[in-house]
């Protein structure tokens, strides 16, 4: 069986980061994914909101680099929680417990390359061909 969600979206608010009593860091992010859908009067956008939970090292990365509006890739299993609120209503939340996260924004220093891009290298100049010396006449050889 497989329980895995893969999302690419925009962060709707700055991450909520906290530390547990044990010192473990946990981060909660609201992530918006948008898709084009056909409507009666043409095309429109449908936005779905997701709650993503990041633990330990991923929470540290999110705390340092993720902000409202950041574009991220998230992967991990879904987890549902059920409870009854103070009015007696049954509530359900579904969260993605991130096992992987990639930052998809451009760098803050103004560089046009995305953070996940491989470094750009320039090809080395092609070596000049080696031309063997020519022998003018076989009779000039000393042997």
Q: Which residues pair with 32 in a beta bridge?
A: 10, 49
What are the chain's domains? 1-30+42-107 (2.40.50.140)
Q: Write down the mean pLDDT value for the chain.
A: 82
Tens place of pLDDT per residue across the chain (143 aa): 999 999 999 999 999 999 999 999 999 999 999 998 888 888 988 999 999 999 999 999 999 999 999 999 999 999 999 999 999 999 999 999 999 999 998 765 544 444 443 333 334 444 445 545 555 555 555 54
């Amino acid at each position: 069986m497989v329980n895995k969600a893969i999302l690419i979206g925009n962060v709707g608010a700055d991450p909520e980061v906290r530390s547990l009593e044990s010192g473990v860091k946990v981060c909660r992010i609201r992530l918006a994914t948008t898709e084009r859908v056909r409507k009666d009067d043409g095309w429109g956008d449908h936005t779905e909101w997701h709650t993503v939970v990041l633990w330990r090292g991923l929470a540290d990365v999110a705390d340092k680099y993720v902000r409202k509006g950041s574009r991220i890739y998230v992967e991990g299993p879904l987890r549902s929680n059920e409870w009854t609120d103070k009015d007696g209503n049954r509530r359900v939340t579904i969260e993605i417990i991130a096992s992987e996260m990639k930052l998809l924004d451009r760098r803050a220093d103004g560089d046009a390359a995305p953070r996940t891009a491989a470094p750009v290298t320039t090809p080395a100049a092609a070596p000049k061909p080696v031309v063997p010396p020519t022998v003018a006449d076989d009779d000039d050889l000393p042997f």
